[in-house]
Chain A
Amino acid sequence: MNLQGMDIDVAVIGAGPAGMAAAIKAREKGAENVLIIERDTRLGGLLHQCIHNGFGLLYFGENLTGPEYSHRFTEKLLDTGARALLETMVLRISGEKEITAVNRRDGLFTIKPKSIVLAMGCRERSRGNINLHGTRPAGVLTAGTAQRLVNIEGFLPGKKIVILGTGDIGMIMARRLTLEGAEVKAAVEILPYAGGLIRNEVQCLHDFKIPVFLQHTVTKIYGEKRVRAVDIAALDANNNPIPETKRTIECDTLLLSVGLIPENELSTAAGIKLDPVTGGAVVNEARQTNVEGIFAGGNVLHVHDLVDNVSWESEIAGEYAARFAGGKKPPAGQITLKAGRNIRYVLPQIISGKNNVDLYLRVREPQKKVIIKMGGIQVGKTIPGVKPSSMIKLDLSAEDQQKFKRNEIVIDCLTKGD
C-alpha cells in the first residue's frame, strides 16, 4: 500500500486488545478506511504472553486464555476489512493529527487521518522507578519480562525467585515459574493486602503455598554478576523499613510487579492533557481527549484489571472516532467529575449530562458495604466490597445526570449507614 498521502478515516495506534476493539468498532460504525499501526510482528499485543485463562468472562461469557481472546479479535478485525500495518513505529503525532511513522518497507512517512485512536497500552514500572538499593547484577527484571521469556521465548529466567509486589502479573508469574520448576521463595508486598485480583491471590499464591510477606519490602539487592540474595524487612506505620525485622533471602532472581504506567509520550507531544492520577489523557464520555479528533481507550488511558473492560472502553473510542471522521462531533462536555472520599479517580473526567454513561472508578482503600454518591445523590445499588485492584463500573443514566445541580460533581464512596 502506498501510505504517503493515503486517505484514512481512522488511524489506531497499537494493535493490542484496545486497538483491535477500537478498529473493529470504527469499521462497524461506518468508517471506510481504518488503519491500525503496530510495532510488533503480530496483532494482539501483550495477550500473546498472557497464556493463563480468565479473559473474556464478561465480554464473551467464556473463560479464555490471552491468545484465544486475541484470536477472536484478530479474526474479526480482518473480517471487517480494517488494514493493519505491522512492524511500524509511530514516532510522532502532531496536534493537527499528522502521524509520522517508520518501518523497513516504507521508510519514514506521514499520514493525516481524519481521527485517531490512541491505544498504546502501558508499560511496567522498573527498578529505576522504585529506587531499589544495592548492586546492579543481572537477574532483576519486571514480571512482564519474565512472562515473555517463559511463555514466548522458552527460557526460565531463574531458579530461586523473590517477587516484589503482588500485582496481577507478579502473582501469575509466581504460579507459572513454580509450574516450570523454579522455587518462588517469597512474594513481598508493601500494602497490608495483595495488590491484584482475589482470584489470582488464591489460585496463584495460595494454591502453590508461596510465602507471602505483607507490609514488607525489599531493602537491598546482593550480587556482582548475578543476584545472590535480597534483604526484606517489615514496614512501620509510615512505610519505613524496621531494621530489626530484616532477613536475607538467597535467590538468583528478583521480579518486580510494582505497577504499570500508561505509555503517553506520543500523546503529550500532540498537546494532549494528562490526568496526573491515571497517567492517561483527560477524556469526555466519547473518550475524546482535549485535542479534537484524538480519542483514547484501554491501558493508555488508565490501567485496567480486566481486558474485557479494555475492549468495551476502546469500542467507545472507536465509535466516536468513526463518527468524527464522518463529520459528527462528540457531545460537548459540561460536567466535570471530581474524585471525593475514598475515590482515587473516575473516568471519563468530563460528561455531557445528556447520555447514559458507564463510569469507571477506582478506590484508594478497601471498604465494605459501600454506596456511591455523586453530588450527594446515590447512584446504583449497595456494593458488598471494594478494593483498589478491582475497578468499579457504574451505570450513570441520563436521568440521574438531570438531577445534578452544578457543573462540578464530586463522587464519594461511602459506607452504607454513615
Chain B
Amino acid sequence: MQENIKIICIGCPLGCEITLTIGQKGKVEDMWGNSCKEGKAYALEEYQNPARILTSTVRTKNCSRPLLPVKTTKPVLKTELMQCISALARIRVSPPIKIGEVVLDNFLETGVDVIATDNL
C-alpha cells in the first residue's frame, strides 16, 4: 500500500508542490517536486511533525485591556490546535504580567507552556 501526499513548501515564493510517496508504516519512499535541498528538508519535517506555534489571546480581569496576547513556547500538533484553543478560552489573567511570563504551564500535558507576548 502506497499513498501520495502533497506538501507545499513555504521556503520561498516558488511555493513548490512536493509529492511524497508514503509506504507501509508511514515510511517516506520517494519525493519529487522540490527545487532545492531546503525544500526536501521542509517536506520531511512537515510530514513527520506537522506542528505549529499557536498564537491567540486570553481574557483578562481587573484590567482596562480585555485581552492579553499569548503563544505556545513550542509547536503544537496541528490536530491538537482546536483543543488547545478551547483550553485557553477557559482561563482569565490579571495584571501585572510581564512579557514572556508563563500563563498556563504544561498545556494539556503536552510539555508546552503558554506565555504572554506582551506586558499587561
Q: A: which residues have CB within 8 A of B? A: 48, 51-53, 63, 65-68, 71, 150-154, 179-180, 197-199, 201-203, 206-207, 366, 368, 384-387, 389-390
Contact = CB atoms under 8 A, between A and B. Distances in A.
A65 B10 contact: no
B interface, how many residues as a size bin?
A: 20 to 34
A390 B69 CA distance: 27
Contact of B13 (A66, A67, A198, A203): A198
Contacts of A154: 57, 59, 66-67
Contacts of A48: 69, 118
A16 to B, nearest CB: 15
B55 A53 contact: yes
Interface of B: 8-10, 12-15, 35-36, 52-53, 55-57, 59, 65-67, 69, 71, 78, 81-82, 85, 99, 117-119
B118 A71 contact: yes
**Residue of B35, B55, B66 with highest tally of chain A CB at under 10 A:** B55
22 contacts: A48-B118, A51-B55, A51-B57, A51-B69, A51-B117, A52-B55, A65-B55, A67-B99, A67-B117, A68-B99, A68-B117, A68-B118, A151-B67, A179-B56, A180-B85, A201-B15, A202-B10, A207-B52, A366-B13, A384-B14, A385-B12, A387-B13
Contact of B12 (A150, A153, A384): A384
Nearest to B81: A179
A71 B69 CA distance: 13
A81 B12 CA distance: 39
Contacts of B14: 368, 384-385
Contacts of B85: 179-180
A63 B74 CA distance: 11
B4 to A, nearest CB: 16
Contacts of B12: 198, 384-385, 390
Nearest to B60: A154
